[in-house]
Amino acid sequence: MQELTHYIGGEHVKGTSGRFADVYNPATGEVQAKVPLASTDEIAKAVEIAAKAQPAWAATNPQRRARVMMAFVGLLNRDMDKLAEALSREHGKTLPDAKGDVQRGLEVVEYCIGAPELLKGEYTDSAGPGIDMYSMKQPLGVTAGITPFNFPAMIPMWMFAPALACGNAFILKPSERDPSVPLMLAELMEEAGLPKGVLQVVNGDKEAVDALLHHPVIQSIGFVGSTPIAEYIYGTGCANGKRVQCFGGAKNHMIIMPDADMDQAADALIGAGYGAAGERCMAISVAVPVGDETADRLIEKLVPRIEKLKVGPYTAGDDVDYGPVVTAAAKQNILGLIQSGVDQGAKLVVDGRDFSLQGYEDGFFVGPHLFDHVTPDMDIYKKEIFGPVLSTVRAGSYEEAINLAMDHEYGNGTAIFTRDGDAARDFANRINIGMVGINVPIPVPLAYHTFGGWKKSVFGDLNQHGPDAFKFYTRTKTVTSRWPSGIKEGGEFNFKAMD
Residues serving a catalytic function are 281
CA atoms within 13 A on the CB side of 257: 18
The closest of 250, 218, 254, 259 to 236, measured between CA atoms, is: 218
The secondary element (H helix, E strand) that includes residue 437 is strand 435-438
Strands 30-36 and 2-3 turn out to be parallel
The answer to whether 187 touches 234, Cβ cutoff 8 Å, is no
First-to-final CA distance of the chain:
73
The helix/strand/coil state of 105 is helix
Helix, strand and coil percent figures for the chain, each rounded to 5: 40, 25, 35
The secondary element (H helix, E strand) that includes residue 426 is helix 421-430
- Residues 180 and 152: their CA atoms lie apart, in Å, by 9
The closest of 203, 251, 190, 235 to 385, measured between CA atoms, is: 251
Please, is 477 exposed, middle or buried when counting C-beta atoms within 10 Å of its C-beta (0-12, 13-18, 19+)? exposed
- Residues 312 and 455: their CA atoms lie apart, in Å, by 36
The answer to whether 308 touches 275, Cβ cutoff 8 Å, is no
Can you spell out the DSSP letters for 382-409?
HS---SSEEEE--BSSHHHHHHHHHHSS
Q: Which residues pair with 474 in a beta bridge?
A: 139
Can you spell out the DSSP letters for 107-162?
HHHHHHTTHHHHT---EEEEEETTEEEEEEEEE-SEEEEE--SS-TTHHHHHHHHH
- Residues 465 and 157: their CA atoms lie apart, in Å, by 9
